[in-house]
Structure 1
Amino acid sequence: MTSDDALSAWWRMFGRPPRVMGLDVARAFAIVGMMGAHAAGIDESFALADPSSWAGIVHGYPSLLFALLAGFSVSLMTRLGQVADEDIAAVRLRMLGRGITIFAIGVFLELLSTPIAIILTLYGVLYLALIPMLRWRSSWLVLLAVALGLLGPLLLAVLAPLPEDTLGPVLEFLLRGSYPITVWLFFALIGMALARLPLQRAVTALWFTAAGAALLVSAHALAALPTGDRMLSAAVFDLEPHSGSMLEILAALGMGSLVIGLCLLLARPLRWPLLPIAALGSMPLSAYTAHVVSYFVMAGPDGRLASMDILLLSTVILLVMTTAWSILWRRGPLETLAARAGDAVAVLANRR
């Protein structure tokens, strides 16, 4: 039986795609990285040539890795050959329900008034934005991503000097927050295209790893070039976290590809030791929400945490809780909620 036959059989039996352990491990690293940015008090400076600054990788890179993995997840849910043409409408409706649910959870977390820049509101919007593109060819996805990677940073650089609230609440949220939709859509589209490659093959993981390392090194080398123009620097050369520049996108894509490639390579020989990490990564919505709520409980509204001990303790607790939950119920609680909301939307639409 080929890997595609196995995927098809799984889909027919369980109604959902099988999990790819390496992607779950990578997703867990993204979540823990974001936790580090929130709670560990790590300086934001990160220079590839300065090992003493490498802890600063938790700023910016993990959230963009999360966006890249979102594209993988969407593509695996709608993979050509596993979803019949007549079923794609139901898949789109389920994505609509999931996106709305994720957005609602994000709004709830925003109301806690922590200093954390909540990713789930934009993540929900991203789900909705990808619905029209589910059947696009990989070449179309990459072409749109390239256009966003080139034009998006220019747009963000033009908008940056404008006073706050100039664009109105919706466009301010989509374009001038910590997570601009142009950047996240770039990563999601690339993730959708990459997920259609044979992820079970070691050669694919090796290509991800090598290409990712090359992109990361190239981006940091180019960022060292002198530039005197403010607009050019903001649009192209700025490697500060969440800058949205071309080189930040290139560096984050390289880092994301490198992490995913390594996780795919290590998932098979280190399957048993990595199971708790994969369990955390298999329920990112629940784990991220638990982190934000626990942060609120410990720090209170507008309070800040800056302790590596808190990060380590929180990570261990999450690993234990998600592993136990995975053993007992497989899918995370908020993942179940989002899936059922998607199913409900599909059922209600079919009754009309």
Structure 2
Amino acid sequence: MLAFGRPPRVMGVDVARGVAIVGMIGAHVGVTQAFDWARVETWTDVVHGRSSLLFALVAGISIALLTGGRRTPEVDDLPRIRLGLVGRGAVVFAIGCVLELVGTGIAVVLTVYGILFVAIIPFLRWRRRSLWIAAGALALLGPLLLAIVRILSIDAYGEGIGLVLGTYPVTVWMPFLLAGLAIGRSDLLRLRTAVALLVGGAVLCGIGYGTAALVADPVDALAAASAADEAGRAQPTPEEVAAMPYPEQLAAVADPMRVVSAVVDVAPHSGGTLEILGSGGLAAAIVGAGLLLSRPLRWVLLPLAAMGSMPLTAYAAQIVVIALVGGLSATAAMEGAMWQALTLGLLVAATVWLAFVGTGPLERLTRRASAWMAGTAGGQRAGARVRR
């Protein structure tokens, strides 16, 4: 434990991951008010939506560190690395499915997280510049394309569609994963990198949410006009729509405002372009702050970093605890006390586990699955240069 957080381990990444877990606990069981810059007591509302996106960004960083750190993996190592990621993703996906079976009503993020381990494989040898360009293009165009696909498909739904384009659309997560991969290919131990993430992230956050505030009134007026126009027309029933030929179905249900919302929406889990920019900037700034503070405040941040070093275990533990106390309806009656209790309990438990055992139990499981799938002796990670 005395060596935990010292180079080559990047403690700032663990801290950022710990912040994401605390935020997701708050999103699940916390009691918050609608966010208002002028009212400090509402600032806890920031956990909704943004915590899971921070988790996605840090996931990309972790994958970079698992597959070579600053250096892209060698071609000869790629087969083992790919198989290792498939094995890791399969276990994470399975853990997510088990947690969904617990029946808490929480939208478990781990199933999509497991898929992302596989989705990132084609990008492992991309240069940082290419990764940033791809992340930016997906952030700007992905929500728009997703809205168009949903309109053209007349909101078709199935298990596969729900998995890829449901609560946590892959089109929203991939920009964060690619950006995280680019960040992880940088020198995270340099002061310059941390400052760039903090400042650049803050600027991007301001652009995203600032632009949303500027266009809010015109967009609201446009939405009101569209709603008034729609109210003045007779609306077909779902049964009538289903009986129409496809062109008529499309004309009956298509709403141009959905395309507008895909760009300007910043509501949590909306998947709008401005939400991705604003939340992405905030996530990058948190990573930068974690990198900056983890050295001078190492012992202060150690419990948070300890929890961040075993994210699967901590995430699963909070789901199980919520189920044991009676689900979300029971935690809602606690008026936010569950957030503090769960966070404190996990911080203490993770610190004690780290001191006496080390790696979290679910992290140990995924590591072994990765090593078994890749055929690497002793669980060594092919191509790894920097520890997670």
The interval holding the TM-score normalised by the smaller chain is: 0.7 to 0.9
Amino acid at match of 1:77: L
Q: Contact (CA 8 Å) 2:197, 2:287: kept in 1 or not?
A: yes
The AA in structure 1 aligned to 2:179 is I
Offset of residue 275 of structure 1: 0.8
Deviations 1:150-199 (A, max 9, x none): 22111333355689972421122211x22110111110000100112221
CA distance in 2, matches of 1:94, 1:125: 13
- Are 1:125 and 2:151 matched, yes or no? no
Residue 271 of structure 2 corresponds to 244
Tell me the equivalent position of 2:138.
148
The offset of 1:130, in angstroms, is 0.8
Distance change (3 Å), C-alpha of 1:196 and 1:308: same
- When residues 159 and 56 of structure 1 are mapped into structure 2, their CA distance, relative to the original with a 3 A threshold, is farther
Q: Which residue number corresponds to residue 196 of structure 1?
A: 185
Quickly say closer, same or farther: Cα 1:162–1:321, change in 2 above 3 A: farther
Q: Structure 1's 82 and 331: CA in aligned 2 closer, same or farther, altered over 3 A?
A: farther
How many Å apart are 1:140 and its aligned residue?
Answer: 2.2
Report how many aligned residue pairs link the two structures: 329
Which amino acid counterpart does residue 12 of structure 2 have in structure 1?
G
Report the equivalent of 2:258.
231
Task: Identify if the C-alpha distance between structure 1 residues 218 and 50 changes in structure 2 by more than 3 Å, giving closer, same or farther.
Answer: farther
Q: What is aligned with 1:305? A: 331
Q: Which amino acid aligns with 1:337?
A: L
Q: Is the 8 A contact 2:73 2:125 kept in 1?
A: no
In structure 2, the residue matched to 1:6 is: none
Provide Cα deviations, 1:279-319, integer angstroms capped at 9, x if missing partner. Answer: 0000000000001011111124x745223211111111101
Aligned partners of 1:338, 1:223: CA distance in 2, in Å? Answer: 40
Over 3 Å counting, the alpha-carbon distance change for 1:165 and 1:295 in structure 2 is farther
Q: Is the 8 A contact 2:32 2:42 kept in 1?
A: no
Q: Is the 8 A contact 2:88 2:114 kept in 1?
A: yes
Once the two structures are superposed, what CA deviation does each residue of 1:106-156 show, in whole Å capped at 9, x if it has no partner? 000011111211000000000011112111112222222222112211133
| RMSD after superposition | 2.1
Q: Which amino acid aligns with 2:78?
A: I
Letter in 1 for 2:355: I
Residue 265 (structure 1) aligns with: 292
Q: If you compute each CA radius of gyration, which structure gives the higher value, 1 or 2?
A: 2
CA distance, structure 2, for counterparts of residue 83 and residue 194 of structure 1: 15
What's 2:100 paired with?
Answer: 110
Distance 2:266 2:303 in 1: 33
Q: How much has 1:50 moved relative to structure 2?
A: 4.8
What is the distance in 2 between the residues matched to 1:162 and 1:118?
Answer: 28
Q: Distance in 1 between matches of 2:262 and 2:25?
A: 28
Question: In the alignment, which residue of structure 2 is the partner of 1:316?
Answer: 344
Provide, for residues 67-100 of structure 1, a one-character-per-residue CA deviation record: whole Å limited to 9, x for no partner.
Answer: 0000000111112548543222111111110000
Q: Which amino acid aligns with 1:197?
A: S
Q: Does structure 1 retain, via aligned residues, the 8 Å contact 2:201–2:282?
A: yes
Between the aligned residues of both structures, percent identity stands at 46
CA 53–156 in structure 1, closer or farther in 2 if over 3 Å, else same? farther
Of 2, 6, 10, 1:20 maps to 10
CA distance in 2 between counterparts of 1:94 and 1:292 reads 27
Gapped regions of structure 1 (runs ≥ 5): 1-16
Residue of structure 1 equivalent to 2:362: 334
C-alpha distance 291-119 of structure 1, shift in aligned 2 (>3 A):
same
* TM-score for the superposition, normalised by structure 2: 0.80
Aligned counterparts of 1:145 and 1:270: Cα–Cα separation in 2? 32
TM-score scaled by length of structure 1: 0.88
Determine helix, strand or coil for the equivalent of 1:240.
coil
